[in-house]
Amino acid sequence: MTTHHKHCVIIGGTSGIGLALANDYLDKSWQVTIVGSNADKINTLNSYYQTNDNLTIKQCDITDARQRQQLFDELANTPMTHFIYSAGMYYNERKLNLSKVQSEQILAVNLQAFCQCFEWASTQLKQHPKNTHLIAISSVAGLLNFEQMSLYARCKRVMIEICQAYQLALAPFGIGVNCIACGYVNTQKLRELNAGNAHHKPFLCSEKQAVHEINHAIHRNSKLHIFPKPMKYVVRALSGLPELLLSQIMKLQYQQQDKKLHQK
């Protein structure tokens, strides 16, 4: 890989939003490195993309300190232009009492490994800061603060706060930090969690639309980009409400969604 190429690293690039972003960067002739932990997904991707020299696929459990360090060592000599943290782990926490393993996984993927990756990537980007961006894929779930919010939502909320700190810290270096608060995106993972069909989710958007929104946010160097627009307006309106009222509304909203899911 030569240094004049633009290079995007996507942690959590082996499926869903991360993979859709990877395909978009490949279409624009960037060098792309995608990272995921699942060997089956990686084998399938390796056979599909075997002739594409611009793509590197790396297997790494980003929550494992040793594997993560090995990944960082392998990536250290290849300058990056964009670093995207799209890795995420979510369950239907309303339906499920999380097991110890699941709650550990949610915390480790959505928050702890994110912190480690942003710390490493920011140091890397400072070496070649021109036109570089750190991008975090968070969620609108993190924008509403109420007592019964899920562990996933809490992690995504902290992610948004951490991005705000990096925005201030990296501004003198000219490095952009963009936090993306996605509404519902029709990925396979979201469908799997909803009996194969996520169409009952409010303001559901396609992976293609998500890629368009994320590109737009990076291009405009948005600090916090919330999409789709109707979801952004709803979340803005809800976040001004007293916490007790917000809790009640969220409870009703989730009951409504669950009813629609059962009617399918």
DSSP 132: -
Q: Does 79 bind ligand NAP (CB under 6 A)?
A: no
**Cβ 25 to ligand NAP shortest distance, Å:** 15
Continuous H helices in 28-145: 39-48, 65-75, 100-107, 113-127
Could you tell me the sign of the dihedral formed by the alpha carbons of 38, 45, 118, 212, in that order?
Answer: negative
Among 109, 125, 217, 218, the residue binding ligand NAP under the rule CB under 6 A is 109
**Tokens 């926490």 -> residue:** 93
Helix H or strand E segment including 117: helix 113-127
Among 79, 88, 176, 228, the residue binding ligand NAP under the rule CB under 6 A is 88
Give the number of other Cβ atoms within 10 Å of residue 40's Cβ. 8
240: which 2 tokens? 């001004």
Q: Does 182 bind ligand NAP (CB under 6 A)?
A: yes
What is the rounded CA–CA span in Å between residue 232 and residue 143?
10
Among 23, 132, 139, 194, the residue binding ligand NAP under the rule CB under 6 A is 139
Q: Does 247 bind ligand NAP (CB under 6 A)?
A: no
Applying CB under 6 A, which part among 7-15, 69-77, 161-169, 240-248 lies near ligand NAP? 7-15
Q: Does 31 bind ligand NAP (CB under 6 A)?
A: no
Question: Which residues lie near ligand NAP (CB under 6 A)?
Answer: 12-18, 35-38, 41, 60-63, 86-90, 109, 137, 139, 182, 184-185, 187, 189-190
